[in-house]
Each structure stands twice: as C-alpha cells, then as structure tokens.
C-alpha cells in the first residue's frame, strides 16, 4: 500500500468514528423525543382530575369517596399491567410492545370524554391507565441500554421533565378549556396526540444501539420469563426500595392530581383557573426537580442521602400543613411548590432500584418499581378519599379538618417508608448497575 494511503487510514478511521457517534446521538435524541410525546399524554391523564374535580363532582354527583376511587383506578390498572409488561419488554422489546398498549389509552380518552355516567368514566380511566402503563418503564428499559449507569437518572429526569408538559397542560390550560368549551374536548385532543405518539414509536424507536449485546440474547420462553419474575421478587433489598418509591410520586400526585385543587377551592374560594395556576407552579417545580436531581446525584455520588434529604423536607412540609389550622395562602403555595420540587426524588430512588438488577432482568425489575410508583396513587387516592368522606361536607365543600387529616396521613406514609430505608447501604451512581450490565459505548451526553 502506498505511504500516502497508510497516512490517511488513521484519519479516515477517526472521521468514521465521529460520524457514527453523531448518528448515534441523533438517533437517541429522536427516541427520547418520540417516547416523550406519549409520556406527555401519560402525565396529562394522571393529573387531569385535580383541576376538573369540582366539575366532575357537580356534573355526575360524585362523592369524595367516588372521586378518589375514580382518580385512583387509573393507577390501579397502570400498576396491574407492570409485571406482564416487564415480561413483554424483556421478550419482544419496547418498539413492538408499546404502540399496541397505547391503543387502549386512545380508546380510554374517547370513552372518558364521551362519558354519560360514573361507569363510563370509570371504564375510561381504567383504559387510560392501562394504555400508558408502559411508557415510562419502556423509556427506562431503553435508557438502560443506551446510556451508562452514572447518567441513567439524568436521562430519566429529562424524560420526566418532558412529561411535565403534560402536567402543565392539566393545570391552567385544562381549566381554561373546561370553562370555555368543556373538559370533554380536552380528552378528545389527548386521544389524538396519544395515537400520534404510538405511531412514531413504532416507526422510530430502537430498543438498543447498534452493536449492543444483551445479557439475555437467547429468547426466553414463558417458563424462563416467569422464573425471572420470581428472581426479581427474591431480591433482598427490593421491598425497602419499593416502599420508598411508594412514598415519592404517589404522595405528590395525591395533592397535585386530586386534592390540591379542591383544597384551594373549598378553603380559599378558588375557581378552576385560579386553582390551576397554583397547580401550574407545582408542575413547574416538579419539572425543575426532575432536571436537577439527575446531575446532582452524579455530582454528589450518592442516591441514598439525596433521597433521605428530599423525603425529610416533604415530611416536614406535610406536617406543617396538617398542624397549622389555616395557613396563609402564600405559605400554602410555597409548601405545595416545595413538596412538588422535592418529590422529584422518585427518579433517584428508581436509579437505586435499577442498580439491583442485571440487564437480563431490567424490564421485570423496573416493572416492580413501577408497581410501587404507579400502584401507590391507586392506594393513596382511595384511602384519602375515605378520609375525606369521613368528615361531613355541608353544601358540598369539605371542611378544613378533612384536608388536615389527609396531610397528616401523607406525612405518616413518608415517615414509615423513610425509617427502614435509612438502614440500606447507598447505591452510588459511580458503582454502575448490577455486575452483568453491558454498558453502551459512546453514551449520549
């Protein structure tokens, strides 16, 4: 070979490597954006009842218990789908599974918008919960193969921040739509956007980067899939991590997605738009927290103590809401915003949970965490509805003591999860995931 060609070979090799890296970064960015469309709608469905709760109660004659059950049933179907979804993701991948599941959310949104009674509302919420049950877990499954362990929470936080657009849509914008043309049309539009997200996922998402070799490359049969679930369930530290996950997002959504709006209406006389404005501040704080905590855990190189610190702040905030008879509105708003910001520690506790499992169990392991994160609201919404219903509500307005009891209940949930979690060892981001996790080369930054 002539010397001039030998001199150019290293240059060509470097150039080809840079081109491959750029293509990989663009492909990953596309995947994040595409799954993000579906996740925006998932977050909208989750939190939408918080702003239109009064409209639903008035139109359908719903009691506090019925409203709590209606809101919580979304999370019940969401949680029930997690183990089957984990098995499907590990077996078939996200691209093949998620678009099919999302069709249930499309149907649910249409049914909810056209609802003529409580039964159809319930059916719509159930189908919406089932339909979006795989979006975040699917994203985490993909991230586990596209990014290194130390950046896992950062990308999870970015995805949840994208989903925060859905929370924003379910605050002031939903309140304005409800007052102008009716809340039903918001759900028709949400169904259309969900259908678009499903199509884009099928066309553009790839489960792993080129050259990735999974630790579970041979396809699993049903027996092996079930055996993997049993293996996940035997993980010694999983229950404690799940308990802490139960006390993160589920506690927040009990306020942001259910009782925050009614509390502001009953105690401070807010209408749907004014309540939506406070919920909007909470949603923005949650987005900021999701963006901040990923890089922060990497900088501090700790998951445990970041979780402990944030959970303690949430605990104290709820105690103040419970103990102060009628806090000034400025203090209520500040505490709601602080609770929302600190509750973003759910991305950190999820990273702690992901560190417990090897790549071959990633889907099923994350499904178990999702059961706590998304099954938690089903439990807390229903229980808080029972607490609210235990207090007489003359004229349809719940008394202050009912809300104080709910705040005290949520404080107790955080405390009961925090105490056993304090005994766990840390899961430092720098330590990576489980030993047989195969890291992707040239991770996105």
User: Each residue of 134-152: pLDDT tens digit?
Assistant: 898 888 788 878 887 677 7
Backbone phi and psi for residue 97, each to the nearest 5 degrees, phi listed first: -90, -45
pLDDT tens string 274-294? 887 888 899 889 888 888 888
Q: Is the pLDDT of residue 251 over 50?
A: yes
pLDDT value, residue 333: 94
Of the pLDDT bands very low, low, confident and very high (cuts 50, 70, 90), residue 433 is low
DSSP assignment of 279-306: HHHHHHHHHHHHHHHHHHHHHHT-SHHH
pLDDT tens sequence across 394-409: 777 889 999 999 999 9
Q: Which domains does the chain have, with CATH numbers?
A: 25-207+221-431 (1.20.1250.20)
Nearest 10 degrees: CA dihedral of 276, 281, 282, 285?
A: 160
pLDDT tens, residue by residue, 7-25 = 455 544 444 544 556 787 8
Greater confidence (25 vs 199) lies with 199
pLDDT of residue 207: 82
Q: Is the pLDDT of residue 43 over 50?
A: yes
Mean of per-residue pLDDT scores for the chain:
83
What is residue 311's predicted lDDT score, i.e. its pLDDT?
96
Mean pLDDT of 48-77: 83
Tokens (6 digits) for 363:
């889907």
Question: pLDDT value at position 286?
Answer: 86
Residue, of 358 and 8, whose pLDDT is higher = 358
Residues 172 and 187: their CA atoms lie apart, in Å, by 15
State the distance between the two ends of the chain, measured CA to CA, in whole angstroms: 39
Instruction: Supply 72's token pair.
Output: 């919580």
Which stretches of 113-174 are assigned E, i.e. beta strand? none
What per-residue confidence (pLDDT) applies to 198? 94
pTM of the predicted structure, to 2 decimals: 0.71
- For 289-309, what is the mean pLDDT? 89
For 122, the token pair is 């319930």
What pLDDT does residue 214 have?
Answer: 53
Q: What is the structure's pLDDT at 381?
A: 83
List the single range of 181-185, 233-237, 259-263, 412-416 with lowest mean pLDDT.
233-237
Residue 151 has a pLDDT of 76
């Amino acid at each position: 070979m002539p010397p001039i060609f030998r001199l150019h070979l290293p240059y060509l090799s470097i150039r080809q490597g840079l081109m491959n890296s750029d293509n990989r970064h663009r492909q990953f960015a596309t995947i994040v954006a595409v799954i993000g469309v579906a996740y925006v709608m998932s977050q909208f469905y989750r939190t939408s009842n918080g702003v239109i709760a009064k409209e639903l109660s008035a139109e359908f004659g719903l009691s506090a218990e019925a409203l709590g059950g209606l809101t919580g049933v979304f999370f019940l179907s969401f949680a029930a789908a997690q183990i089957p979804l984990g098995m499907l993701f590990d077996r078939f991948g996200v691209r093949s599974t998620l678009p099919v599941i999302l069709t249930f959310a499309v149907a649910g949104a249409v049914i909810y918008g056209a609802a003529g009674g409580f039964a159809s509302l319930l059916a719509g919420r159930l189908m919406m919960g089932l339909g979006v049950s795989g979006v975040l877990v699917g994203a985490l499954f993909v991230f586990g193969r596209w990014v290194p362990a130390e950046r896992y929470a950062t990308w999870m936080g970015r995805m949840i921040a994208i989903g925060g657009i859905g929370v924003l849509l379910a605050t002031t914008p939903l309140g304005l739509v409800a007052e102008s043309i009716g809340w039903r049309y918001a759900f028709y539009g949400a169904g259309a956007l969900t259908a678009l997200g499903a199509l884009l996922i099928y066309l553009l998402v790839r489960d792993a980067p080129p050259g990735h070799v999974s630790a579970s490359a041979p396809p699993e049969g049903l027996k092996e899939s079930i055996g993997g679930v049993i293996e996940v369930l035997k993980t010694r530290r999983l229950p404690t991590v799940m308990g802490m996950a139960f006390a993160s997002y589920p506690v927040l959504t009990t306020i942001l997605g259910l009782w925050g709006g009614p509390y502001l209406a009953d105690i401070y006389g807010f209408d749907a738009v004014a309540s939506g404005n406070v919920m909007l501040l909470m949603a923005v704080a949650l987005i900021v927290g999701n963006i901040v905590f990923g890089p922060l855990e990497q900088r501090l190189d700790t998951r445990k103590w970041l979780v402990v610190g944030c959970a303690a702040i949430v605990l104290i905030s709820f105690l103040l809401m419970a103990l102060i008879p009628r806090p000034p509105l400025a203090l209520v708003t500040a505490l709601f915003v602080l609770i929302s910001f600190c509750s973003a520690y759910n991305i950190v506790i999820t990273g702690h949970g992901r560190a417990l499992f090897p790549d071959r169990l990633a889907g099923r392991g994350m499904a178990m965490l999702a059961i706590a994160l998304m099954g938690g609201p089903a439990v807390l919404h229903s229980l808080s509805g029972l607490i609210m219903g235990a207090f007489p509500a003359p004229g349809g307005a719940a008394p202050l003591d009912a809300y104080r009891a709910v705040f005290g209940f949520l404080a107790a949930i955080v405390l009961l999860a925090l105490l056993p979690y304090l005994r766990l060892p840390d899961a430092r981001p720098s330590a990576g995931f489980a030993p047989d996790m195969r890291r992707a080369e040239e991770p996105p930054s």
